[in-house]
Structure 1
Amino acid sequence: MKLRSVALLASALAGTSVILAGCGTSTSPSAPTSAKAPASIGNAAVVGLPAQVSLNWFFPIMPATAYSVYNNQTEFNMYVPLISVTSQDKLDYSRSLASSITANSNGTVYTINLNHKYRWSNGTPVTSADVVWTTQLLMYSSNTSNSKLPWMNGGAGIGGLPTRWKSVKADGPYKVIVTLNTPSNPAWFIRNGLGQIVPAPKSVWDIHKNMINEMNFIKSVGNSPQLSYYKVVDGPFKYDAALSKPNNQYWTFVPNKSFDGQKASIGKLVYDYFTSSTSEFSSLQKGTINVGYLPFHLYKERSKLTQDKFAAAYPFGFNYFVVNYNSAAPGHFGTLIKNPYARQALQMGIDQAAMIRSFANGLGTPSIGPVPSKPLTPYFDQSLTNAYPYNPSAGKKLLLAHGFKLTNGVMTKNGIPFKFTLMYATGSTLITDEVQLLKQDLAAEGIDVTLEGEPFDSVISNNQSTASKWQALFWGGGWSYEPDYFPTGGGLFATNAGSNTGGYSNSTLDSLIKTTYEPGTGAQIISRMYAYQTFVAKHLPVIFMPEAEQYFENANYVHGVMKNYNPVLNLNWPNSWTITH
């Protein structure tokens, strides 16, 4: 799973493929073929980032504090993943470093054959040594019990990292053997486990020969793409420091001429930073960016973008805000929120339907569990209903029944008021409108919410290491299921998981999550997924918020943007874009 802002650019069961129904996009009529790029743009794709979102990590293993889809897009631009998937969640070997993967009968040994064609930009081949070194670093940085780690892999817990992984070894220059200590469902492990491996060049990065020292070094240069370490890549693009102003202005990539896949035809790929979604819309209007998004509050103004194509799509994910369970949380909030009735009261104060209707132009769907209803997949239990629909009166009664009393307008028990600060991502009118309505509706229950706006990067930088500084977080876009393309909760809700931001822990849920990893028939696997999501829907480790459909815009002269958008990866392939001149 990866964090995303509100605006942004199942698998094999019993030998068959799960198709992601509805993963296609709705688009406006085709653009005129006569549209041509203006001379001021030339052969450059200029992409508008969501408001107050920056690219801030460039090494292909991301820490929890930078675990976003935007950094992931950068990663895929610069490096070839071991495994990629299609928009139907099938393995896509055409975009993968692996050419084939086989598993033994009980799913404990995985043999990975590498495609011989890929080479680093310095001319050396990408080999098993690169895969093994990166995987060992991935395993080490996922050890949540090691308090000395300089940073933790944001994907710790996903794909069984590191507890199920026994060893990774090279068998010659183009074969890797990964061994697990527990029988596992290959469809799950290949996607969620092996899918996390994005090899870096060992010859460049294996400097210190000590994992702690190596991680400290990577931490010091993770956001310094101008350094020489990032000049050696095997992906379709390379970072160009001379053409960039990375201090929240723009980041520029140029084609990697040595790339062994589909070479980019565009001359430059530029990511622009914006302070607000309104300024991004203005840049679309002016034509200074040619790939971006339509802000929700300006949906009715889309006719002003006369030179653009519009499309809408649901990424494969769900939306929520995080509550801090840590006892160090300010105002005894961690102690309070551990009570299920407190979370139930919160959820009953969230008017998802009104948020969709009033702020998202009616184009959205309520989140009621951890598996999205759109796009529809067999993983989603269609019999699942909203366990705690909007009903602030019932929420208030629930608190009163558990000993709270209304004191100066705030529900209070044992001298502790039900009040908290919700830190939310600024720059998006949709997010601001949602949290203001949330504050108003929860006040009707006697829950006092203080709103604190911060940039997206600042909001997601919080986790259990900063537990004494926050109570609740809402970055606005929830999660996209990548690299956990098999949508279990190992990386999000399992005890001590790398992206378990709030520090939730429940032994029953841990057991339910583990069962989704086990081998079985298609019916058994689906049954386990249903049991997992039913538990999450009822126990509320997070507070669900509505999932809005995402709006995309690109200039008529830029082609292939939506054709190559993958809602499962929640990524695009800019090397497949073309520009008409």
Structure 2
Amino acid sequence: MRTKKLLPFFFIVFFLLSCSTNKVSTDRIVIGIPADVNTFNPLFAFTVDEGSITELLYLSLADFRWNDEKGGLDAFPMLAKKWEWADDSSFVIFYLRDDVKWSDGEPLTAEDVIFSLDLYSDPNVQSRLYGFFEDLYTDEENHIDVKKTFDLKSPYVLQINFKPGSYPRLIDIVHPVIPKHIFEKLERNNLSTADANFNPVTNGPFVVKKWERSQFITLSANKNSFLYNPDNVQELVFKVIPDYTSRLTQLKKGEIDLMELISTEDVSSLKNNDNIVLKTIDGREYDYVGWNNIDPLVYSQGGGITPNKLFGSRNVRIALTHAINRKEILEEYLYNYGELAVGPVSSIFKSYYDSEIKPYEYNPGKARTMLEREGWKDSDNNGVIDKNGIEFSFKLTYPSGNPLREYAATIMRNNLNAVGIDMTPESLELGAFIDMLSSKSLDAWMIAWYIPIPLELKAYWYSDLQNTHLNFVSYQNKEADAVMDELDKNLPDKQRKKLYYKFQKIIHEDEPVTFMYWIADIVGINKRVENINITPLGAITHCWEWSLKK
């Protein structure tokens, strides 16, 4: 589920941003966003836009960039000049820059790094990263044990220790650093509502100049930052424009310079605009149809695992995928801005994606044959196949307000009806939908996943249903579990590739869900913006490198 699609909407008055709506600033870039942020604190940056903005305000020890050639991340120095791993990966030593100051003039030191990780892991704080530090020494509440984990060599040299048997990665411990001298004075239980979250003391390439809630956020280049370049953009404005059509109109008129999530039906008009260039963020989001692999009623009555009467068989699930014309939806609604999905590993991960696995083709005849072999036949000639007195009839649930899924549900209903399956589309208010999804009380549903970088599989596909809360379909396969356990380890890339290939093959053969299509995020950018690099990491990254045509 993509967080940024779930944001609330607010209204904006543009004259607050500029004395003239027609005047284009020569040192300012305006980005249109659908809703305001709730915080500038990376501890609580739960939405995509909040994450993008806070990363411009708070730097991390390392800077990660997308390497398109290999399809993965490369790490570069940022707050840390360099780092050295122990031969056995039992610890890593960071050597910090000694010229970084907070926006209030205080120096940034390793004490800030220790304090930040302590806060991220504190159960009283409940940060967005709580529970994600299993490779470090932690207590029974997953709170980092500061004494065991950190060895402060000097104000600018820090050793981070990992517990035996762990498989640490740099990206798991490198997070935006916040100022100890500001937040150590505050009660941790109430940290999320502290004024320091809204009037931040920062260390990044930008500072908050002005925030008019529900209207705009203005960031100014931090001239004291080691990243500062006078030739690059001096001001970023995040303009809150709740209405999609209004955002699009302002992009066309040049009142905003960048807009994401452009609808495919608007692409042709934007291509005719000489001032706009279109780019896509590929391979981060896919729609899928979830088939509950277990009986939801039995599970709700005591946690028992019994195969779902309709969807418990993998052959039935494969037949359902054969029955759905996904290509029609991709072509007719998405105008091919995306690709058919074959599994949860995106093709952007070039080192690990198995291109030999092909999507199940649309073949209703094959679907009928497979269903019949599984015992599903229309025994009473009423048009609906049945087995053991149970008709193949169900509701397909999806969150309301999404035109793509409404269109897809209509196509699916007709497709499934053609093979003797009675499917009724049902839209639900988002909150109610998520509640039912989390409780595993739905039989079938349609929604999207926004995938993390780097790859994460266990949270979605591991058999331990008590601890993998995102495994909504209750998929269980011991062979897949063994592969995911191995992928947790530090392994040579060649071995990791074999494991990822094996996992994709297992998933394809089990088809726990119908993988529909990867959906491209279409981004519109005014051509006056230069040095912007759109990658799978997003559109609003490394903005301090952006510039404007003179």
Q: Give the TM bin, normalised by the shorter chain.
A: 0.7 to 0.9
The equivalent residue for 1:284 is: 251
- Whether 1:522 and 2:476 are equivalent positions in the alignment is no
Please identify, of 548-557 and 328-337, the stretch whose mean Cα deviation from structure 2 is larger: 328-337
Equivalent residue, structure 1, for 2:241: 273
Rounded Cα–Cα distance in structure 2 between residues aligned with 1:151 and 1:417: 44
**For residues 32 and 442 of structure 2, what CA distance do their matches in structure 1 show?**
30
- 2:531, 2:545 within 8 Å by CA — same for their partners in 1? yes
Alpha-carbon distance between aligned partners in 2 of 1:54 and 1:348, rounded to the nearest angstrom:
42
- The residue aligned with 2:190 is 217
SS in 2 for 1:176: strand
How far apart are the structure 2 equivalents of 1:53 and 1:412?
A: 47
- Counterpart in 1 of 2:354? 381
- Which residue does 2:427 correspond to in 1? 452
**Superposition pairs of residues 224-263 of structure 1, within 5 angstroms:** 230-239=199-208, 243-246=211-214, 250-262=216-228
Deviation at 1:231, TM superposition (A): 1.4
| Alignment CA distance shift 1:208-1:520 (3 Å) | same
Tell me the amino acid that sits aligned with residue 227 of structure 2: G
Once the two structures are superposed, what CA deviation does each residue of 1:140-188 show, in whole Å capped at 9, x if it has no partner? 55xxxxxxx88574685698689998853141322333333355666xx
Name the SS of the counterpart of 1:297 in structure 2: helix
- Say whether 1:354 aligns with 2:328: yes
Over 3 Å counting, the alpha-carbon distance change for 1:330 and 1:40 in structure 2 is: farther
Pairs within 5 Å for 1:15-164: 38-39=22-23, 43-49=27-33, 55-56=37-38, 58-62=40-44, 66=46, 68-88=47-67, 89-94=72-77, 96-140=78-122, 153=128
Determine which of 527, 535, 538 is the counterpart of 1:556: 527
SS in 1 for 2:395: strand
**Structure 1 match to 2:269:** 301
Counterpart of 1:23? Answer: none
**Could you say which residue in structure 2 is the equivalent of 1:490?**
458
Q: Which residue of 2 aligns with 1:510?
A: 481
Structure 2 residue corresponding to 1:419, chosen from 357, 370, 394 = 394
Provide the residue aligned with 2:343 in structure 1: 369
Deviations 1:96-141 (A, max 9, x none): 3232222222223222222323322222223223222332344455
* Counterpart contact for 2:149–2:161, Cα < 8 Å: yes
Distance change in 2, residues 1:232/1:300 (3 Å): same
CA distance in 2 between partners of 1:518 and 1:198 (Å): 25
Cα deviation code 1:505-526 (max 9, x no counterpart): 5554333112112233332222
**Is residue 285–residue 520 contact of structure 2 (8 Å, CA) maintained in 1?**
no
Q: Which amino acid aligns with 1:423?
A: Y
Mapped partners of 2:514, 2:39: distance in 1 = 28
Distance 2:86 2:493 in 1: 18
Aligned residue for 2:482, secondary structure, equals: helix
What is aligned with 1:181? 163
Mark the CA change 1:570 to 1:243 in structure 2 (over 3 Å): closer, same or farther.
closer
- Measure, in 2, the Cα distance between the counterparts of 1:540 and 1:518: 26
1:200 matches 2:184:
no
Assess, with a 3 A threshold, how the Cα gap between structure 1 residues 444 and 557 changes in structure 2: closer, same or farther: same
Q: CA deviation at 1:379?
A: 1.1
Is 2:291–2:513's contact at 8 Å kept on the other side of the alignment? yes
Q: 1:317 to 1:450 in 2, by over 3 A?
A: closer
Within the alignment, does 1:467 sit opposite 2:439 as a pair? yes
Give the 3 Å change call, closer, same or farther, for CA 500–227 of structure 1 in structure 2: farther
Aligned pair in 2 of structure 1 residues 431, 160: CA closer, same or farther (>3 Å)?
A: farther
Task: Answer yes or no: is the 8 Å Cα contact 1:157–1:498 preserved in 2.
Answer: no
One-letter identity of the residue aligned with 2:258: V
The DSSP-based 3-state class of the residue aligned with 1:85 is strand
Closer/same/farther in 2, CA of residues 208 and 231 from structure 1, 3 Å limit: closer
Question: Residue type of the partner of 2:170?
Answer: I
The question of whether the paired residues in 2 share the 8 Å contact of 1:156 and 1:499 is answered with no
310, 314, 323: which is aligned to 2:278?
310
Structure 1 gap ranges (5+): 7-36, 142-148
Contact 2:2–2:285 (CA<8 Å) still a contact in 1? no
Secondary structure of the residue that 2:81 maps to in structure 1? strand
- Normalised by the size of structure 1, how large is the TM-score? 0.73
SS in 1 for 2:111: helix
Q: Take 1:449 and 1:151, find their aligned partners in 2: how far apart are those partners?
A: 39
Tell me the residue number matched to 2:13.
Answer: none
Q: 1:117 to 1:489 in 2, by over 3 A?
A: farther
Change (3 A) 1:40 1:544: same
Counterpart for residue 27 of structure 1: none
- Alpha-carbon distance, 1:275 to partner: 3.3
Give the CA RMSD over aligned residues: 4.2
Following superposition, the deviation at residue 80 of structure 1 comes to: 0.9
Q: Which amino acid aligns with 1:262?
A: Y
Distance of 1:98 and 1:262 partners within structure 2: 17
Deviation at 1:546, TM superposition (A): 1.0
> What CA distance in whole angstroms lies between the structure 1 residues aligned with 2:446 and 2:53?
23
Query: 1:2–1:481: 8 Å Cα contact kept in structure 2?
Result: no
Partner of 1:383, secondary structure, is: coil
Deviation at 1:364, TM superposition (A): 2.3
Corresponding position of 2:545:
576
Aligned to 2:15: none
Structure label with greater radius of gyration: 2
Q: Take 2:156 and 2:164, find their aligned partners in 1: how far apart are those partners?
A: 25
**Number of equivalenced pairs:** 509
Q: 1:173 to 1:306 in 2, by over 3 A?
A: same
Which whole-Å CA distance do the structure 1 matches of 2:126 and 2:317 have between them? Answer: 30
- Report the counterpart of residue 12 of structure 2 in structure 1: none
CA change 1:462–1:173 in 2 (3 A) is: farther
CA 1:340–1:423: 2 relative to 1, 3 Å: same
Superimposed CA distance per residue, residues 406-441 of structure 1 (whole angstroms, 9 cap, x where no aligned partner) = 6976666776864234324736x5454334433443
Q: How much has 1:339 moved relative to structure 2? A: 2.0
| 1:412–1:576 distance in 2 versus 1, CA, 3 Å | farther
